[in-house]
Amino acid sequence: MSITLPGPTLGVVGAGQLGRMMGEAVARLGVEVVVLDPTPDCPAAPVVSDQIVGDFDDPDAVHELARRVDALTFEIELADPELLAEASAEHDVPVQPDPATLETIQDKLVQKEALADAGIPVPEFVAVATAEGLERVVEEFGGVMLKAREGGYDGRGNVPVEDPADAAAALDEVGGNAMAEEFLDFEREIAVMGLKGADGETRTYPVTETIHREEILRESIAPARADDAVVAEAESVARDVLEFLDGRGVYGIELFETREGEVLVNEIAPRPHNSGHWTIEGARTSQFENHVRAVLGWPLGPTDLVAPAVTANVLGDVDETGSATLRGVEEVLAAPDADLHWYGKEDVRPLRKMGHLTVTGDGGEAAADRGALLSRARELRDGLTFRDA
């Protein structure tokens, strides 16, 4: 393929922080970005050419987006796969990843079934629709993570259930139609950002260790502090997952390392992922640039590590709601080893992802101590606050 600059215009459904970082990454390459999002002045708006304000499933808005661009992608699972496929066909604009992949992934139960059918290792899971059914599963599994089949994120839609007596309330909380998964006492969580490009080429980024609290990602560490055998197994599982998925782009593959050193797939995101934000500073090519390269069918950039990196998410305080002003920023800006990313959200809400910072080691022995990098990232992050001085 012969590539000329200025490059094509890319249409992105969704325009949160992922769209913003995508826009930041590809402006340099002469790729113009137009986004579709229902929220005026959403995070991506200031860094892209234009925003169409409309719902993800508004046919007029999606068709308008398709009319105005040379290629389509999405940065949110709430994109409408059928509508994307239809607009893509009608306006003769390719959409990547394949909307059929998005459709499979949108339903956690369908996703798990598809993975299991493909022979990919996953935790034990089962569909549940009644409180009695859930009670039996809780007894059988000895505790489950109950998950809404659709629409959950950042742990919303997930309820741990240990006691069969809590079944009815838990099912109510997730809205009835759910999947129950064995509750894993895992060794650690890890993730692989996988990349699928033109002609079926696949690449993976170094395995990332992820630390969640209240089911929300707090920190990611690259490379993961796992044994070589576990890292190799994670890479192998990720390659199998990429093989099984249709469509070009970045995929965030969330994994569990069990106490026995097994690797199981938790879930897949058909887009750049919070566990891969460290790639902006820590890898040769960021996940955002590579997502766009893959979607456009351009040559992929190298995924090698340039420095060990730890990303710490900046979340809204648990009891804070209102207009967002982040304080303590000067400390992070003055730090020679940290990069700050602000998502531009107007309001802070409890545990809302407002930004992140990444600390990179300089390759020296002390800096490559990932425990020390993690402490450093936490210390810098914890110095930031949304509270009044």
| Residue choice 75, 80, 181, 219 for contact with ligand ATP (CB under 6 A) | 181
Which option in Mg ion, ligand ATP, none does residue 189 bind, with CB closer than 5 to 8 A by kind? ligand ATP
- Looking at the Cβ atoms of 41 and 267, the one nearer to ligand ATP is 267
| Residue choice 26, 42, 141, 147 for contact with ligand ATP (CB under 6 A) | 147
Which option in Mg ion, ligand ATP, none does residue 123 bind, with CB closer than 5 to 8 A by kind? ligand ATP
- Looking at the Cβ atoms of 48 and 138, the one nearer to ligand ATP is 138
> How many whole angstroms from its chain centre is CA 322?
25
At its nearest, how many Å lie between ligand ATP and the CB of residue 58?
23
Q: What is the largest CA-CA distance in the chain?
A: 63
Q: Is 262 in the site for ligand ATP (CB under 6 A)?
A: no
Q: Is 212 in the site for ligand ATP (CB under 6 A)?
A: yes
Q: Is 75 in the site for ligand ATP (CB under 6 A)?
A: no
Q: Which of residues 242-271 bind Mg ion (CB under 5 A)?
A: 254
Q: Is 78 in the site for ligand ATP (CB under 6 A)?
A: no
Question: Is the preceding peptide bond at 164 cis, omega within 30 degrees of 0?
Answer: no
- Other beta carbons within 10 angstroms of residue 219's beta carbon come to 21
Q: Which of residues 262-321 bind Mg ion (CB under 5 A)?
A: none
- Looking at the Cβ atoms of 111 and 360, the one nearer to Mg ion is 111
Q: Is 368 in the site for ligand ATP (CB under 6 A)?
A: no
CA–CA distance, 297 with 91 (Å, rounded to integer): 18
- Looking at the Cβ atoms of 135 and 254, the one nearer to Mg ion is 254
At its nearest, how many Å lie between ligand ATP and the CB of residue 245?
17
At its nearest, how many Å lie between Mg ion and the CB of residue 255?
10
Q: Is 145 in the site for ligand ATP (CB under 6 A)?
A: yes
| Residue choice 155, 164, 297, 328 for contact with ligand ATP (CB under 6 A) | 155
Residue count at the site for ligand ATP (CB under 6 A)?
A: 20
Which option in ligand ATP, Mg ion, none does residue 158 bind, with CB closer than 5 to 8 A by kind? ligand ATP
Which option in Mg ion, ligand ATP, none does residue 271 bind, with CB closer than 5 to 8 A by kind? none
- Looking at the Cβ atoms of 109 and 359, the one nearer to ligand ATP is 109
Q: Is 101 in the site for ligand ATP (CB under 6 A)?
A: no
Which residues of this protein are in contact with Mg ion, per CB under 5 A?
Answer: 254
Which residues contact ligand ATP by CB under 6 A?
123, 145, 147, 152-155, 157-158, 181-184, 189, 212, 215, 217, 254, 266-267
